[in-house]
């Protein structure tokens, strides 16, 4: 059966005590992590449970989120005409597809959990993997959460109060976005199960919302209710390609907005090691899910264009509301607004869950101060665990102990400090950013690493031609991806200089942190490990490679 997209997640970054498996001395405390063990041996083996269908729901479930209900405005504004917008959507989809196919090759050749972090570490060295993690913690994860929260706020305010309120007060939207963030963070701090359980419900809402768009589009096309059939509307004069933008930077900005809606195509790469048959299923998952999503998005956009004039699509981030109200009046608007905000809330919940684990893993790894790699409520929580599990006495009242330490509920047995850090950075982005600015910001940062990783695939082909690659893409695939993302990145400087400089600044700080602090410590650890009896240089390499992957 297709289980929830989040079933896998608790095992992604195991919360048990020896998650990283290494003691301070650098010696493996967990035999499964011994560098001399076979690749993927031991602990990862027992988690090999994901199937093709799980993979499909993982990819599709993450990709379809806020974007298809919010990006059309920015795509249309910048591309200029409906026809140009559809081209942007198609190009964004194909770009995501080529990227995902390249990642599938990497996933087959390096069948470990962790995605880009692992590939970059293997190809360029650990500094590159660190830089990715650094930017994921500071920009990518909180940035994407902020975008989703903002869209959540806008749709909810529109549903509850009406369109005027949204336009009247940006702060009301931001307030609701922050409230959503607080609720989701609290939920995920209290219990892992609370967080993951609610995910399924919201996943369902999002499919209903997209289905709603299709159905309305079909109704309109069949009944002729469409704006396009109404001769009184002045926008009718706009042909499919009238007003197409001639500014290449605008096209780049439109592409970033489209790419946001397709983002998440690398999701299976984070859990490659947990697939029963990664080399067969990864490419299959990619080559089914991406064409499917591309088709859905193109159809949804055609629906939008059939029902609404361009200037309405461009006027807000809540195209689905305008869409519902055009066909079914206020009730239609309300229903769609509720479904989309539900879908965004679910996405926010899912991304909070994984971000917490990512920050936690970075804390464990020594990429961040150790506190972020801790579980639960710090000292008091440790006392509670001691009380319930050992003979040592504790001052904590028995009743509280039972409640906190209930093994089934697992209340507060979550990476709380990691989640709070993530929420704090997200809140800053919500406060200072808007959908349009954040989407470019996120895109520039994200595509820097996608580009680097796919370039790494080409480098790896040259450097290690004999590496076993169960799935090999057509070599033009990564080349196309690299060329288009290079174009995107180079235009960003002209199109959105502030966001681009910010991203560069974050990376520069990350590099300083690596060379001044984390990397130097890592060098010392390596040296210590090297000095241990009977370790070959190859073991040293293995050990440090495997560290990133568990
Ligand atoms: N495509 C998703 C959306 O439209 C966003 C995915 C965010 N990316 C991520 N890796 N979580 O909302």
Distance 97 CA to ligand 1 centre (A): 15
Q: Is 347 in the pocket of ligand 1 (CB under 6 A)?
A: yes
CB atoms within 10 A of CB 501: 13
CA 543 to chain centre: 28
Which residue CA neighbors atom 10 of ligand 1 most closely? Answer: 264
Q: What is the model's pLDDT at position 528?
A: 78
Which ligand 1 atom is nearest residue 71's CA?
A: 4
What does the alpha-carbon distance between residue 231 and residue 191 come to, in Å, rounded to a whole number?
56
- CA 360 to each of CA 203, 347, 415: distance values in angstroms, whole numbers, following the listed order: 25, 20, 6
Residue 5, pLDDT score? 34
User: Cβ(149) to ligand 1 under 6 A?
Assistant: no
For residue 193, count other CB atoms closer than 10 A to its CB.
Answer: 14
In this predicted structure, what is the pLDDT of residue 309? 84
Ligand 1 touching residue 351 (CB < 6 A):
yes
In tens, the pLDDT along 353-391 reads: 888 888 888 888 788 888 887 777 654 444 444 444 443
Instruction: Output the pLDDT for position 187.
Output: 85
pLDDT for residue 536: 67
Output phi, psi for 275, to 5 deg: -80, 145
pLDDT value at residue 385: 46
Residue 144, ligand 1, Cβ within 6 A: yes
Q: How far does residue 396's CA lie from ligand 1's centre (Å)?
A: 42
CB 324 within 8 A of CB 307: no
* Ligand 1: centre distance to CA 261 (Å): 6
Whether residue 264 has its Cβ less than 6 Å from ligand 1? yes
The percentage of the chain sitting over the pLDDT mark of 70, rounded to a whole number, equals 76
Q: What is the pLDDT of residue 353?
A: 81
Atom of ligand 1 nearest to the CA of 66: 12
pLDDT band at 550 (very low <50, low <70, confident <90, very high): very low
Q: What pLDDT shows up at residue 530?
A: 72
Among protein residues, the one whose CA lies closest to atom 4 of ligand 1? 67
Residue nearest to ligand 1 atom 8, measured at CA: 264
The H-assigned helical ranges of 309-464 are: 310-315, 319-365, 378-389, 398-405, 416-432, 435-463
Least confident segment among 39-43, 134-138, 353-357: 39-43
Mean pLDDT of the region 246-250? 90
What separation in Å is there between the alpha carbon of 206 and the centre of ligand 1?
A: 13
Among 74, 92, 140, 144, say which to mutate for ligand 1: greatest number of ligand atoms within 8 Å of CB. 144
Res. 507: pLDDT tops 80 = yes
Q: 238 and 308 in contact (C-beta within 8 Å)? A: no
Per-residue pLDDT band for 7 (boundaries 50, 70, 90) equals very low
431 in helix, strand or coil?
A: helix
User: Is there an atom of ligand 1 within 6 Å of 439 CB?
Assistant: no
Exposed (0-12), middle (13-18) or buried (19+): which is 398, by Cβ within 10 Å? exposed
Q: What is the pLDDT of residues 85-95, one digit of tens each?
A: 999 999 999 99
Cα–Cα dist 285/288, whole Å: 5
Distance 307 CA to ligand 1 centre (A): 26
Residue 82 and residue 136: Cα distance in Å, rounded?
34
Integer Cα distance of 182 and 347 in angstroms:
14
pLDDT digits (tens, 9 = 90+) for 299-327: 999 888 888 888 888 888 888 888 888 87
* pTM of the full structure: 0.83
Distance CA 274, CA 532 (A): 32
Predicted confidence band at 505 (pLDDT cuts at 50, 70, 90)? very high
**Structural contact between residues 119 and 550, judged by C-beta atoms closer than 8 angstroms:** no
Least confident of 74-88, 99-113, 361-375, 412-426: 361-375
Over 60: is that where the pLDDT of 409 sits? no
- pLDDT for 472-496, tens place per residue? 999 999 999 999 999 999 999 888 8
- For ligand 1, whether the C-beta of 263 sits within 6 Å is yes
Note the pLDDT tens digit of each residue in 257-289: 999 999 999 988 888 888 888 889 999 999 999
pLDDT at 408 over 80: no
According to the model, what pLDDT value does residue 208 have? 80
The finding on whether 67 has its CB within 6 A of some atom of ligand 1 is yes
User: What is the complex's ipTM, to 2 decimals?
Assistant: 0.97
- What is the model's pLDDT at position 231? 46
Which pLDDT does position 190 carry in this prediction?
80
């Amino acid at each position: 059966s297709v289980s929830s997209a989040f079933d896998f997640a608790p095992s992604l970054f195991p919360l048990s005590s020896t998650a990283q498996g290494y003691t301070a001395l650098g010696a493996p405390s967990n035999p499964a992590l011994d560098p001399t063990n076979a690749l993927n041996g031991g602990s990862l083996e027992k988690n090999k449970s994901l199937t093709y269908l799980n993979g499909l729901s993982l990819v599709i479930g993450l990709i379809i989120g806020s974007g298809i209900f919010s990006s059309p405005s920015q795509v249309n504004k910048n591309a200029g005409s409906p026809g140009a917008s559809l081209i942007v959507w198609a190009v964004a989809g194909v770009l995501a597809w080529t990227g995902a196919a390249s990642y599938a090759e990497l996933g087959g050749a390096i069948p470990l959990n962790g995605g880009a972090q692992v590939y970059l570490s293997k190809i360029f060295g650990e500094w590159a993997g660190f830089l990715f993690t650094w930017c994921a913690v500071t920009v990518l994860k909180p940035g994407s959460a902020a975008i989703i929260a903002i869209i959540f706020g806008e749709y909810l305010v529109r549903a509850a109060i009406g369109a005027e309120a949204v336009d009247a007060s940006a702060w009301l939207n931001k307030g609701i976005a922050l409230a959503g963030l607080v609720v989701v963070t609290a939920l995920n701090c209290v219990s892992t199960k609370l967080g993951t359980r609610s995910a399924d419900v919201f996943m369902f809402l999002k499919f209903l919302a997209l289905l709603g768009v299709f159905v309305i589009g079909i109704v309109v096309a069949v009944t002729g209710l469409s704006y396009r059939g109404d001769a009184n509307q002045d926008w009718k004069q706009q042909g499919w390609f009238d007003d197409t933008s001639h500014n290449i930077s605008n096209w780049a900005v439109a592409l970033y907005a489209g790419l946001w809606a397709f983002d998440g195509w690398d999701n299976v790469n984070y859990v490659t090691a947990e697939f029963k048959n990664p080399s067969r299923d990864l490419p299959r998952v990619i080559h089914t899910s991406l064409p499917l999503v591309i088709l859905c998005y193109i159809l949804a956009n055609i629906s939008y264009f059939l029902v609404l004039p361009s200037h309405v699509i461009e006027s807000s981030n809540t195209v689905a509301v305008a869409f519902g109200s055009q066909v079914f009046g206020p009730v239609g608007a309300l229903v769609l607004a509720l479904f989309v905000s539900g879908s965004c809330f679910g996405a926010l919940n899912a991304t909070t869950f994984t971000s917490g684990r990512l920050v936690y893993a970075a804390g464990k790894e020594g990429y961040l101060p150790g506190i972020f790699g801790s579980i639960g409520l710090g000292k008091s929580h440790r006392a509670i665990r001691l009380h319930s599990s050992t003979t040592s006495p504790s001052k904590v009242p028995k009743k509280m102990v039972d409640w906190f330490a209930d093994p089934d509920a697992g209340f507060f047995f979550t990476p709380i400090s990691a989640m709070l850090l993530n929420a704090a950075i997200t809140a800053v982005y919500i406060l200072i950013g808007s959908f349009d600015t954040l989407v470019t910001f996120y895109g520039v940062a994200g595509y820097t690493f996608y580009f680097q990783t796919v370039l790494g695939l080409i480098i790896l082909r040259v450097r290690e031609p004999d590496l076993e690659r169960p799935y090999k893409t057509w070599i033009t695939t990564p080349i196309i991806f690299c060329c288009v993302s290079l174009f995107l990145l180079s235009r960003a400087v002209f199109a959105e200089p502030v966001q681009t400089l910010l991203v560069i600044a974050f990376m520069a700080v990350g590099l300083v942190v690596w060379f001044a602090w984390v990397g130097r410590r890592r060098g010392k650890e390596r040296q210590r490990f090297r000095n241990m009896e009977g370790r070959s240089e190859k073991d040293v390499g293995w050990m440090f490679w495997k560290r990133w992957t568990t």
